[in-house]
Structure 1
Amino acid sequence: MVDSLVSLAIEKLAKVLEDKVVSLVDVTNEIKKLSSTFKFLQAVLKDAETRRVKDEAVKEWLENLKDVAYDVDDILDEWMTEAPKSQAPDEDGVSCFSKKKVTSFLLPVNCFNHVVLRCKIGSRIKEVRGRLDDIKKEVKLLHLSGDRGERERVESEVRWGERETGSLVDQLSVVGREGDKNEVLHLLLRESSGEVNEVPFVVISIVGMGGLGKTTLAQLAYNDEKVKGYFEMRMWVCVSEDFNVKQITESIIKSADTKFEGKNLNLDQLQLHLREMLHGKRFLIVLDDIWCEASEKWDKLKLPFQAGASGSRILITTRNENVALAMGRAHEHKLAVLSHDDCWLMFRRRVLEHRSAEELSELEDIGREIVNKCGGLPLAAKTIGSAMCSRRTRRVWDLVLESDIWNSRDVLQGVLPALLLSYHDLPPALKQCFAYFSVFPKDWKIEKDVTVKLWVAQGFIRSDRSTDMEEIGGLYFDDLLRRSLLQDAELDDDKNIVKCKMHDLVHDLAKSVAGSECSLVDIREQASLNPSNLRHSFLYGSFVVWPTLYKANKLRTLLCDSRIYMPRVPNNLFNHFRHLRALDLSHTSIQKLPGTVGKLKQLRYLDLSHTGIEELPEGLSNCGNLQTLILNGCVQLKKLPKGLGKMINLRHLGLEGTDELKYLPQGIGRLSSLRTITKLIVEGGIEGCKWGEVKQLINHLHLQGRLEIIGLEKVKSREEAREAEVYKKQKLYALSYEYRGDEALDDDAVKRMEDVLEILQPHTNLKKLNIHGYRGWKLPKWIEDPVFSNLVEVMLFSCDKCKQLPGLGKLPSLKYLDIWGMEEVRKVGGEFSWDDNNDGSGGVVSFPKLQTLFFQNMSNWEEWELIGDGEVMPSLLELQIQECPKLKELPSNLPPLLQKLSLRIGNDGLPSGGPLPILPNLNHLEVYGSDELTSFPCGWLRQLRALQTMEIWCCSNLGSLPEEFQHLTMLQRLRIWTCPLLKERYGGRGEDRDKIARIPNIIFY
């Protein structure tokens, strides 16, 4: 982690030296000396990181170095912010550096006070270099070495010796792994027929975080009697960190033949010998504790394995999914944590070795709470159990329960080193990102998108120019998940990772390596805060008293819990937190942000989402480094700063759920760094931005994510629309076109609107499309083109002049379709599906993947036919029809897989007459009525034999349930909403209630 900070400092110092404006000799020399010292210290960091766990002096040395690196980064950040301003030309078009040959390290906004600031920054650089020189002097005292040589080899052997595993296992000590063992045995023993490419061996990986018991599970499987009888040869090798092909090959041979002497053999001779041993035999090789991700090494190792018989297996254990991928895995078993009861049993067995069952029973309630801290980790349960053996009284157990788990030296030495190996295996950049997780509370749902933006704000991620920083950060996040340092991934519909959690003990590891720079701060206990080196903080509690926190003047991250009561931010707050890079006030009670926020020159991330803010101060536009501004859910927000266009480093602007925001300020077209902006408003007024700026923003090649364009009625021609080049936006996955106004349009205006939307054809990568308020007579042809093979969701709202629906049945991936307010549509038939021949003779499937279909507020819709060349909507699971009063019949050929149906009925409404749909799989029915409905017209209920849930809504004059209810034998839940007569008749006790008493779950609302 410190290595990454030092590397960043060296990079920035080099950039400063290359800049032509730094020509003052004294400043240049100071920077050169600073860079040289950092490079010297960088050489010994690997040694220091290895020794930090057991050597408090080394740990303190690293903390001091980290603090200096942060301070240098702050100074350099100030320079990078102010220097461009100093070089900006004045009204004569000449910069102050062309007028005066005076330069300094930190260049002021104007030339008048640059001398004062030069002295100030020069002094700061000199002070920091003095601290760094003191740190350098301690290198010899601490015996830190840049050339690890023999020491590294010896220490590696010692560590490997301590971690080396064997195949033997005490099966009686294993708890809660019977299911895992059976699954692994199934993978080991099943016949090989049909396996991938019929290779002679298959790789099976057991993956999980450190301390879960991966090795123990492999030992259980290895020693199973069925395994012994199935495989002719079994070999066990502990690989650990050094994936040496020759050494592993020799170890495999020795595992099978203990008398083998191969010290003088080269790799080729060893592999030939191993191939001969394995030839024609079914073997099992366990490679325990693999860390290496290099597939070329695995490719070399596996060559002799090809000689084995079909059905052979390689069983590996690893913390890192990347390892399993590199080894060409065919099967993976992810090992989960133990249940609380199993963890308690393991803990109990350890404690019972030193006390009686009677003694323990008196402590069981506290013991179980202590076991909760283990988070289902077997290693932690055993280690804590051993540590508690010497603690015999209830009072001592209470103290352990109330303390941080890492305060116990026994626990520290037992659990943390096991997890620390995963940390040491990380690249330097990932170490810094991992440590940052300690700023979040335990059990926090860690949002991937938010976390990556925070990493970018802190400078943890550097772009290689061909890839956005956010994309690199996303890969970092996924990598930490694959390495088992994150868990419980939540996925979106496209299988992308959205959120994760972190095991409590891994969180403690992150806190341990982050040291004093990250802290959760209870605002009710600020008196105990030690703010001297605090850089990242999560503030929680119920009220705010700032003065003590003001002392944390090096703070870079301030995240506030939503429960904090904070209607306003103090005006002087930002005078104290001048180095803030990330500020999150989302979901708090804040209603106003002071203009002094403009003093936060280093601010990169600001989240004000779901607050009561009505407008943002003009001072915010002075935050020229701001990269992310999130205002989602600010339902009262009416105004953005006029100077928003000055924030040229802005990359993300979140405006979802800001319906009161009617325009965006002029000048927004200058935001050329934008990657995501969720809303663009075309406004014809004096203050709002016009189509020219909107199209300029859309034109940015890196625009991505979700985008809503409002006010398209103001685009006057095809040519104007074409200039936006929407079709080039490959990374836009969700697009909404919205039209405003209800004034009457002449034929020319309608035709112009049709032409504009036809030209605004998006890229075929689009996944979600919403067209709202469109008043053309027909929708564009591109909307039904099968080339949009990625489109999974379409919403057509208030397109009230369109007389027919587009042929959406041609879209091969469409899953969700919502059609609302298309009042001119009278018939839905073949044009909606896919009937190119118009004779039903073909075999093409219409809507092949459609699962959800909504029709709402279609006041003139009378007829619906499911027509197509072949099957129509074979995957449909949910159908909703609301406020379509003229539709009398449902198609008789509704897809049989349909599970949920929602519709409004009336005395003469749907369905009435005609063939009734056969819906054998329908399990959920919602029926909406009206004041006119006095009897239930659904005679087709009797054939709904699979119905499990029924809801009846708003039938205020409906007095009885139909006789068909007696045929609904599978009905489990009945919900009746706002039906007073039904509630009166069936809600009490008596004969009428008895008629429905067989239904287990009945609720009246």
Structure 2
Amino acid sequence: MAEGMLYGVARKIIEELGSWAFKEVASLWNVEAELENIKNTVSTIQAVLRDAAEQQTHSHQVKDWLEKLKDAVYEVDDLLGEFFAEALRQGGTSENIAKKVRYLFSTPNRLVLRKEMSDKINAMKQKLNAIAEDRKLFHLKEYHVEPPVSMDREETHSFVLDEKVIGREDDKQAIIKLLLEPNNEENVSIVPIVGIGGLGKTTLAQFVYNDKNIKEHFELKMWICISDVFDVKMIIQKIISATGEKLEDHSMDKSQDQLRKIINQKKYLLVLDDVWNEDPHKWESLKDLLVGGAKGSKIVITTRARLVAEITCPVSIYTLKGLNEEQSWLLFKQIAFRKGQGQGTNNPRLEEIGREIVRKCQGIPLAIKSIGNLLRLEKTEHKWSYVNNNILEIASQQKNDIFPILKLSYDHLPSHLKSCFAFCSLFPKDYEIDKVTLIQLWIAQGFIRPSNKSQELEDVADEYFKDLLWRSFFEEGMGGLRYKMHDLIHDLAQLVAGAECTIITLDRNNFDEKTRHVSIPFYIDSSFIETSSLLVRAEKLRTCLLTFKSRNQYGAGEIDKSMMNKLILSCRRLRALGLCGVQIERVPDSIEKLIHLTYLDFSWNKNIETLPDAISRLWKLQTLKVNNCRNLKELPRDIRFLVGLRHLENSYCERLSHMPVGLGQMTCLQTLSSFVVRDNQASTSGPISSGLDELNSLNSLRGELQISNLRCLKDVYSKPSAANLRAKQYLDELTLKWHADNPFFCSVDDGDEKLLEDLEPHLNLKFLSVWGYGGVRFSSWLSLLTNLVSLDI
């Protein structure tokens, strides 16, 4: 099922092999033909993934072929990563990689490595070619552009029995109110109903459509099921047929003319059910032909994607929610307990199990109906318990029910979004996903590929996230940048990810050699990890995360140095390693063995005091997190060698005494949560910090920056203005602290006024906090911060 993830890795390989750096490599190795062959083979294989994914459901041979292909493509990615890591280990950067490659392969002592890598490339070429040749056995179709999605769904109609609609009376009245209120500007206004598949959008529209007040209010009513391709000509002809008129001519011009005559000066209600169109131009083309109705005419649109609703009418969007628990139970009881048998009251145990099933359906009427229909002829507690314990597996097998309906949303996704969505199955149900972290993890896996060089990875990933949010795959959490997945959407993510993404559980061994991304809940300790199959089968792992549902759970697990050594040596292909709150005291030097590592998170480990300099040899590292490591005293001394580091998150590291020398060379940095000015009177060991001038060139910094220990600036050799805060246009939030250890302490100091004046930020700043400032007057630049929304002094 996880063809989306495979597609993402294949796309990454093709782009890398087409880059100037790899062309330079090919020339030096004299393997231009081999690398070009690998690139073309992966491209050819990528083109058949869509068809292979569809055929594997009914062909074990295709399924086996896909597994072999998956292994081979991941091996290619590992091989390319191995080369880059070796080149960077010799002192290269992403900018001068070609020059460093020449050095790497020109000296005599590098000949062995050159031969070894060339042999690996040749072996890989032959392996891929053999797999590509096998594809011909299955007559797979090649799609070099995204193929249109075929909507395998029955056409809807406008009728529903009122007594079969449960729990939607309030929604019905809300929609009717929107339909009956007069239009202020245009003759025709639009009411989009948005919600995930199976929520009952069509049923609600039918409920409204047949209401007595609606029938009396509108002179003309029409119901059209869109579902598949949004073809304006076809929709026009469907509308004409829905009015009862005979289509006079099949040409576009005659059809639009006939439609406008039919609706001219008539107050009409048009329902467009199941709309997927995301092209605003197509929508405008249709809307222009529908504006001729009388004032008060309305168009109701049902859609799964908020993006579609925003295109049609961003003002009157009605977001449909799930049924509450009691409404869900009434619907389930109506389906599962046949009339006259009274099973719900005569067998309390069945009712108890039924209510558990209903809770798992999370208010989705189609899921409730699907399971209810499955159980309506069953009377045994055993069968009901079995269904309750295996809802995901059973529901996915129902051909015309909830999962096929939900999977339409997944099938409709572009390939680059499929991998991102499937990856989200790593987070537990009800988990509030931090958007920033998720984006960093997507980048770590190579899922984010900009269409041009000027785009930042984070900006492209943010667009990916918005696409999934607007297509109803995410819903907003309690606050900030945190989001959740509906339980059934999470089940869908698990279904399409298959064995590739796994959450480790205590009750069953759900980890196998196909698993490449794993998350470990907080309640599983190191002894379980060591005795399970995780370490034995971890060779192919690319992600290993510890996840927590809330902050008060940090610190529940524990991994000692020995256990961490075993984990590192077992998981050499990791791209992302998250070890939050596992009470590590020392990080072993073996961490440098993870040459592919791009994302590393040690947050909430209160016992860590120092990080080994071996971390500075993780040349591909892009994200390093040490948030809430409250006893961390210093960062790796040679961190400046991590020239590709984009995010250094070090919030709430209260004992951090200084920043490492050379930080200013890390111009790729977009996140630097905290910068600590060194107190040279309190600490004399190590090199003297060069002060705020380390910030001078870090003009790509985004989000939040805290500068603390400003009182110590007189003891270091730099001027406050050297921080160059005026050039940091992407910073949203700036916190200035005069004292790191006691932010509330303040002493009158005239010099503080000049210091603060020199710390003038860019006028884009939105949040400013100043702690322990000893001046009498605030700086003149405050009045220039016209975008400021919060000031805390």
Q: Same fold (TM over 0.5)?
A: yes
Shift of 1:584: 1.1
Cα deviation, 1:270-292, whole Å, max 9, x if unaligned, reads 11111111111111111111111
Measure how far apart 1:730 and its partner are: 1.9
Superposed CA offset, 1:437-493 (max 9, x none) = 01111111111111111111111112333332222222222221111111244443x
Residue number in structure 1 paired with 2:598: 604
Q: How does 1:65-214 map to 2 (within 5 A)?
A: 65-86=69-90, 112=109, 114-146=110-142, 156=150, 159=151, 162-192=153-183, 195=184, 198-214=185-201
The whole-number CA distance in structure 2 between the counterparts of 1:25 and 1:606 is: 32
Q: Could you say which residue in structure 2 is the equivalent of 1:399?
A: 386
Task: Provide closer, same or farther for how the CA distance between residues 166 and 374 of structure 1 changes in structure 2, counting only shifts above 3 A.
Answer: same
Give the equivalent residue in structure 2 for 1:469: 457
What per-residue deviation string (whole Å, max 9, x for no partner) do you get for residues 538-573 of structure 1?
A: 113332234431221111111124432324443232
Q: CA deviation at 1:256?
A: 0.4
- The alpha carbon displacement at 1:764 in A equals 2.1
1:756 aligns with 2:744: no
Report the AA paired with residue 792 of structure 1: V
Which residue of 2 is the match for residue 918 of structure 1? none
Aligned to 1:845: none
Native 8 Å contact 2:17 2:23 kept in 1: no
| 8 Å contact kept, 1:47–1:148 | no
Please state if 1:39 is matched with 2:43: yes
Compare 678-687 and 434-443 and name the one that shifted more: 678-687
The 8 Å contact of residues 581 and 602 in structure 1, kept in 2 or not, is answered as: yes
| Matched ranges for 1:43-62 at <5 A | 43-52=47-56, 57-62=61-66
Which protein, 1 or 2, shows the higher relative CO under an 8 Å CA cutoff with sep ≥ 6? 2
Measured in 2, the distance between the counterparts of 1:350 and 1:111 equals 78
Q: After the TM superposition, which of the residue ranges 765-774 and 309-318 deviates more from structure 2? A: 765-774
Cα deviation per residue 1:578-605 (whole Å; 9 max; x = unaligned)? 1111111112222221111111111111
Residue 441, structure 1, aligned to residue 424, structure 2: no
Q: Which residue does the alignment assign to 1:300? A: 285
C-alpha separation between the residues in 2 aligned to 1:134 and 1:26?
23
Residues of 2 paired with 1:544 and 1:656: CA distance? 27
Secondary structure of the residue aligned to 1:293 is coil
1:421-500 mapped onto 2 (5 Å cutoff): 421-463=408-450, 464-492=452-480, 498-500=481-483
Q: Distance in 2 between matches of 1:17 and 1:665?
A: 31
Amino acid corresponding to residue 761 of structure 2 in structure 1: P
Where in structure 2 are there 5+ consecutive unaligned residues? 548-553, 742-747
Q: How far, CA to CA, are the matches of 2:566 and 2:199 in structure 1?
A: 49
Give how far 1:132 is off. 3.1
Query: Partners of 1:698 and 1:355 in 2: how far apart?
Result: 79
Aligned to 1:677: 672
Is 2:517 the counterpart of 1:536?
A: yes
Q: Letter of the aligned partner of 2:559 in structure 1?
A: M
Change (3 A) 1:115 1:289: same
Q: Tell me by how many angstroms 1:752 deviates.
A: 4.3
Residue of structure 2 in register with 1:701 after alignment: 699
Question: Is the contact made by 1:352 and 1:360 (CA closer than 8 Å) also made in structure 2?
Answer: no
> Cα–Cα, structure 1 residues 688 and 473, in superposed 2: closer, same or farther, change >3 Å?
farther
**Equivalents in 2 of 1:188, 1:165: separation in Å?**
21
**Aligned residue type for 2:465:** F
Asked if the contact 2:445/2:575 (under 8 Å) is kept, the reply is yes
CA distance in 1, matches of 2:329, 2:354: 8
| Mapping of residues 619-658 of structure 1, within 5 Å | 619-658=614-653
| SS of residue paired to 1:706 | strand
Counterpart amino acid of 1:313?
Answer: K
Conservation of the 8 A alpha-carbon contact between 1:87 and 1:97: no
- Is the CA contact 1:387–1:410 (under 8 Å) kept in the aligned structure 2? no
8 Å Cα contact 2:267/2:295 also seen in 1: yes
Q: Deviations over 1:73-93 (max 9, x none)?
A: 12111222222445759xxxx
Question: How many angstroms does 1:59 deviate by?
Answer: 4.6
Deviations 1:368-405 (A, max 9, x none): 11222211111111111122235432112222222252
Deviations 1:524-543 (A, max 9, x none): 468x3443121110113332
Aligned to 1:503: 486
Q: Which amino acid aligns with 1:794?
A: L
After superposition, the C-alpha distances for 1:303-354 in whole angstroms (9 at most, x for unaligned) are 2212111100011011111111212343111011111222222222222349
- Total equivalences in the alignment: 757
Does the 8 A contact of 2:444 with 2:576 survive in 1?
yes
2:589 to 579, 586, 595: 595
> Out of 276, 290, 315, which is 1:291 matched to?
276
1:359 is displaced (CA, Å) by 6.8
Match of 2:745 in 1: none
**Correspondence list, 1:447-846, <5 A:** 447-463=434-450, 464-492=452-480, 498-522=481-505, 524=506, 528-540=509-521, 541-545=523-527, 546-547=529-530, 548-550=533-535, 551-561=537-547, 562=554, 563-568=556-561, 569-611=563-605, 612-683=607-678, 685=680, 692=690, 694-715=692-713, 720-740=719-739, 750-783=749-782, 785=783, 787-796=784-793
TM-score, normalised via structure 2 length: 0.89
Q: Does the C-alpha gap of structure 1 residues 741 and 258 become closer, same or farther in structure 2, counting only changes over 3 Å?
A: closer
Q: Deviations over 1:50-83 (max 9, x none)?
A: 4455555545544443332222112111222222
| Contact 1:455-1:473 within 8 A present in 2 as well | yes
Alpha-carbon contact 2:679-2:709 (below 8 Å) kept: no
CA distance in 2, matches of 1:626, 1:417: 40
Matched to 1:178, the amino acid is E
Classify 1:133/1:646 alpha carbon distance in 2 versus 1 (closer, same or farther; 3 Å).
same
* Cα separation, partners in 2 of 1:697 and 1:355, compared to 1, 3 Å: farther
Match of 2:336 in 1: 351
- Report if the CA contact (8 A) 2:88-2:619 is conserved: no
Decide which structure has greater helix share: 2
Change (3 A) 1:56 1:273: farther
- The superposition leaves residues 829-870 of structure 1 with CA deviations (integer Å, 9 ceiling, x where unpaired) of xxxxxxxxxxxxxxxxxxxxxxxxxxxxxxxxxxxxxxxxxx
Q: Which moved more, 1:251-260 or 1:207-216?
A: 251-260
State the distance in 2 between where 1:19 and 1:111 align.
22
Q: Quick one: structure 1 residues 515 and 124, their matched pair in 2 at CA, closer, same or farther if it must change by over 3 Å?
A: farther
Aligned residues of 1:721 and 1:756 also touching (Cα < 8 A): yes
Q: Is the 8 A contact 1:284 1:314 kept in 2?
A: yes
- State the identity %: 36
**How far apart, CA to CA, are the structure 2 residues paired with 1:658 and 1:97?**
38
Structure 1 regions of 5+ residues with no counterpart? 104-109, 493-497, 743-748, 797-1005
1:733 match: secondary structure:
strand
Q: Secondary structure at the match of 1:186?
A: helix
The one-letter amino acid paired with 2:641 is: K
Give 1:811's aligned residue: none
Name the SS for the 1:204 alignment partner: strand
Local SS of the residue matching 2:595: coil
Task: Give the TM-score normalised by the residue count of structure 1.
Answer: 0.71
Q: For residue 369 of structure 1, what is the aligned residue in structure 2?
A: 356
**Distance (whole Å) between structure 2 residues aligned to residue 313 and residue 285 of structure 1:** 6
Per-residue displacement from partner, 1:729-778 (whole Å, max 9, x unpaired)?
22212212222499xxxxxx955432221121112222222222333343
Please tell me whether the aligned partners of residues 749 and 775 of structure 2 are also in contact (alpha carbons under 8 angstroms). yes
